Structure 1
Amino acid sequence: MGPLSDLTVIEMGTLIAGPFCGQILGDFGANVIKIEDPGAGDPMRQWGRSLPKGHSPWWPVIGRNKKSVTLNLRSPEGQAIARTLIGKADVLIENFRPGSMEKWGLTYESLAAANPGLVMARVSGFGQTGPYAKRAGYGLIGEAMGGLRHITGEPDRPPARAGISIGDSLAATHAVMGIMMALHARQRTGRGQVVDAAIYESVLAMMENLITEYDITGYVRERSGSILPGIAPSNVYPAANDEMILIGGNGDTVFRRLAETMGRPDLAADARFVDHAARGRNQAELDEIIADWTRPQALDALLALLEDNGVPCGRVYRAPDMLTDPQFIARQAIVETEHPVFGKIRMQNAFPKLSETPGEVRWPGPALGEHTEAVLAEMAGLDEAKVAALKARGVV
């Protein structure tokens, strides 16, 4: 019973941008009813480097805490049933190409006429308006247009990706923020509204001072690899046995502690490194000095030494490290749940943590259409015979 347990959410759409939005709401108790095509369902059910036992390791996460209902939105009967379900919902999420909902007769205006309090979150590549609105907009395009791709990677190589679908996830997270704002406004007005979350704008919102810096100084930020230009020391450094350590010592007092820990207190008084600006100008030289100190040392000993002296540091985590780390364990950042095919599986927990009404992983992604009959009976008043007839016609 999370803080959103009084909300009913209809999730339409596929892959990550819309479904991650539904995942977050479901984690905190919302009754999320996911509408999927009766054929293959959400393509996320087939994603992954491999499909152990014929099932995707992606789907248990992004499909968690949701109910799966199959419904053919391209058929008039399916559209009518969708309209009935949406009429009893608080929130509708969709991430189809703009124009699809309108083509199916599911415009916000018509839906809100029957359900004035409806909040409709529309997640797309470029938003619902503007000359690019109807273009296909995947996350990688939004990441590039929003400025992230150009500044990610090594200076002498083409732009790199983050390694996850960060553009989609950012758009979904901003959509959740918009949903909660719209629900708050509904308490005063009684009316819902449309939340328009574009992937490229969600990425742009994270770009810190990139636009303003150019506007004022003409400086175009470029790829800088593992550093932020002018912020030093703050980098990844080598340790013994080909391991790596991150050290952040760019504050004046922290840098003095780092220099003393290195047995080089003179560095803090050196004109090249005496303050933030000087260290930024001599970043590469300072990084070489620190790397020469870290390179021969064992990672665990190095971490302990720096931690004892109050210098921010850390290892570069991989999945195995996360599963055994005491901080992850103490805060239950990773939880175990039961999957009908895989058995016990682990995944990241609901976040952020709330002290009184925390979120939780109640169940992993359901089987395709697992809740069709129950939901249609409860919300649309359809008995088994009617659902069977719809199945026979390919509507569900």
Structure 2
Amino acid sequence: MAGKTVVPEFGPLSGVKVVSAALAMAAPFAVMMMADYGADVTWIESPLMPDISRVGPGMLGQQDRRNQKSVSLNIPSPEGREIFLKMLKDADIFVESSKGGQYAKWGLTDEVLWEQNPALVIVHVSGFGQTGIPEHVSRPSYDPIAQAFSGFMSINGFPDRPPIPAAPQVADYITGLFALGSALAALYKAKTTGEGDSIDLAQFEAMARIQCYMVDYMNVPGMTFPREGNRSAMLAGWGGFTCKDGKDLFIAVSGGGGVKNVVEFLGLGYGSEEFPAGSPNVMKGRSKGAAILDQKLEEYCATKTVEEAEKELTAAGVACCTVMDYEMIVNHPHYLARDVFIEWETMQGKKIRGLNVVPKFKKHPGKVWRPMPGMGMDNEEILSDLGLTEEQIQELYEKKVIKKGK
């Protein structure tokens, strides 16, 4: 067996041990952030089929499965169950993502896991939650399903076209952030009381929760929020404006200072009846100046390149930004100055460029110390640490309880 993999000490989560049986994107994103912050993460993969991160497009696996060890284990098999429970004895956090109630069906209820480790924090991530109407709890779900069920999709797109899902995988990544925050809150409590907790995170609920300013629309029958497209349905000066070079500038006029700055910049008479002094926004349907402001911004942008318009409006204190594409992002000096992108090597020795650890910690920064592991590449090390002999490990391979792959 090769030398033991030593997780370097770094970051605010150094010393925290995480076991992950997370699938797809939402929960793995939370686990990746824990790993980026220094946690010792072991990723359990099913030997029955590869995770989507291994067969999906782009750098999904390389980006969101880095800094982890991999063991391939058939958890519900008798042998797999025994090994799985041993892995949890000294873990701090266990994260899984499956249909609601899947682990309970396997006889691996929270209570069974706590028998092994009373202080364990358990994070269940699913589309529809662990409780509720049974036919919903057991439904499969992916990012756009959560967007559709939460109402989020209904407000996205243009008013004259069908609703569309927001990209890329907004529901997955928002759910991942909820999983991270709740897991660390529970971990804090477990460290102070010795008592673990179980978190039931439904993806659609995370998406419903972020629509906080839509609560009025939810509570009033017949009240619907119009799909806005690239212009606000409520605020003038809020949306995309096309410049003379065909590129778009997104302008966001809001706040007393923002309104004052844009009105004065355009020479529209701040303090007038159309633009009263102190107004925090220029509201469509309420302000006499709303149509005037949008028209003047359209006329102004039509005479400027996007670079010129952004420079002049920014200098005047107006919030705006060129709608950047990926080519512009990877070469932008501010991205480069903040080291947003870094390079590392895959297990195959290929150099890749990906996103750095976010956010940046001043005293205990995170880092990328290991690329995405091959499936089950740490089987022998992990299982031998649990007390299994070489003969027992070989028998598990023969029974297909564990597996190795690329």
| Residue of 327, 332, 338 corresponding to 1:320 | 327
- Provide the C-alpha distance between the structure 2 equivalents of 1:149 and 1:284, rounded to a whole number of angstroms: 28
Do the aligned residues in 1 keep the contact of 2:159 with 2:229 (CA within 8 Å)? yes
Pairwise CA distance, 1:15:
0.5
Query: SS of the residue aligned with 1:188?
Result: helix
Q: Which amino acid aligns with 1:349?
A: N
- Provide the C-alpha distance between the structure 2 equivalents of 1:258 and 1:311, rounded to a whole number of angstroms: 6
Pairwise CA distance, 1:150:
0.6
Residue 338 of structure 2 is aligned to residue 331 of structure 1:
yes
| Residue of 43, 51, 56 corresponding to 1:42 | 51
| Residue of 387, 393, 396 corresponding to 1:390 | 396
Residue 117 (structure 2) aligns with? 115
State the identity %: 30
Matches within 5 A, 1:103-182: 103-131=105-133, 132-182=136-186
- Provide the C-alpha distance between the structure 2 equivalents of 1:345 and 1:290, rounded to a whole number of angstroms: 42
Q: Which amino acid aligns with 2:303?
A: P
Residue 81 (structure 1) aligns with? 83
Residue 346 (structure 1) aligns with? 353
Residue 378 (structure 2) aligns with? 371
The two structures, once aligned, show a CA RMSD in angstroms of: 2.0
Q: Which amino acid aligns with 2:66?
A: R
Q: Which amino acid aligns with 1:43?
A: I
Residue 7 (structure 2) aligns with? none
- Provide the C-alpha distance between the structure 2 equivalents of 1:252 and 1:198, rounded to a whole number of angstroms: 38
Residue 242 (structure 2) aligns with? 238
Q: Which amino acid aligns with 1:36?
A: E
Task: After superposition, give the CA deviation of every residue in 1:298-331 in whole Å (9 maximum; x if it has no partner).
Answer: 1222222122222211111222222111221222
Do the aligned residues in 2 keep the contact of 1:99 with 1:134 (CA within 8 Å)? yes
Pairwise CA distance, 1:269:
4.8
Q: Which amino acid aligns with 2:98?
A: F
| Residue of 10, 13, 16 corresponding to 1:4 | 13
Matches within 5 A, 1:9-28: 9-28=18-37
| Residue of 25, 31, 34 corresponding to 2:40 | 31
| Residue of 288, 292, 300 corresponding to 1:293 | 300
Residue 52 (structure 1) aligns with? none
Do the aligned residues in 2 keep the contact of 1:4 with 1:28 (CA within 8 Å)? yes
| Residue of 264, 267, 280 corresponding to 1:265 | 267
Query: SS of the residue aligned with 2:376?
Result: coil
Do the aligned residues in 2 keep the contact of 1:90 with 1:118 (CA within 8 Å)? yes
Q: Which amino acid aligns with 1:182?
A: A
TM-score, reference length from structure 1: 0.91
Do the aligned residues in 1 keep the contact of 2:187 with 2:196 (CA within 8 Å)? yes
Task: After superposition, give the CA deviation of every residue in 1:314-352 in whole Å (9 maximum; x if it has no partner).
Answer: 111222222111221222222211123472212122212
Do the aligned residues in 2 keep the contact of 1:79 with 1:105 (CA within 8 Å)? no
Query: SS of the residue aligned with 1:337?
Result: strand
Q: 1:159 to 1:283 in 2, by over 3 A?
A: farther
Q: Which amino acid aligns with 2:123?
A: A
TM-score, reference length from structure 2: 0.89
Q: Which moved more, 1:158-167 or 1:318-327?
A: 318-327
| Residue of 70, 73, 76 corresponding to 1:71 | 73
Q: 1:384 to 1:210 in 2, by over 3 A?
A: same
Query: SS of the residue aligned with 1:209?
Result: helix
Q: How many residues align?
A: 386
Q: Which amino acid aligns with 1:391?
A: Y
- Provide the C-alpha distance between the structure 2 equivalents of 1:220 and 1:101, rounded to a whole number of angstroms: 39
Q: Which moved more, 1:196-205 or 1:290-299?
A: 290-299
Query: SS of the residue aligned with 1:280?
Result: coil
Pairwise CA distance, 1:241:
2.1
Do the aligned residues in 2 keep the contact of 1:93 with 1:121 (CA within 8 Å)? yes
Pairwise CA distance, 1:214:
4.6
Q: Which amino acid aligns with 2:226?
A: E
Q: Which amino acid aligns with 2:316?
A: N
Query: SS of the residue aligned with 1:286?
Result: helix
Do the aligned residues in 2 keep the contact of 1:271 with 1:278 (CA within 8 Å)? no
Query: SS of the residue aligned with 1:391?
Result: helix
Residue 325 of structure 2 is aligned to residue 310 of structure 1:
no
Structure 2 runs not aligned, ≥5 long: 1-9
- Provide the C-alpha distance between the structure 1 equivalents of 2:119 and 2:104, rounded to a whole number of angstroms: 19
Do the aligned residues in 1 keep the contact of 2:347 with 2:374 (CA within 8 Å)? no
Pairwise CA distance, 1:356:
1.2
Query: SS of the residue aligned with 1:121?
Result: strand
Residue 359 (structure 1) aligns with? 366
Do the aligned residues in 2 keep the contact of 1:256 with 1:265 (CA within 8 Å)? no
Do the aligned residues in 2 keep the contact of 1:272 with 1:279 (CA within 8 Å)? no
- Provide the C-alpha distance between the structure 2 equivalents of 1:390 and 1:34, rounded to a whole number of angstroms: 18
Task: After superposition, give the CA deviation of every residue in 1:53-86 in whole Å (9 maximum; x if it has no partner).
Answer: xxx5211011111111111123211111111111
Task: After superposition, give the CA deviation of every residue in 1:224-246 in whole Å (9 maximum; x if it has no partner).
Answer: 11233322211111112211111
Matches within 5 A, 1:209-224: 209-215=213-219, 219-224=223-228
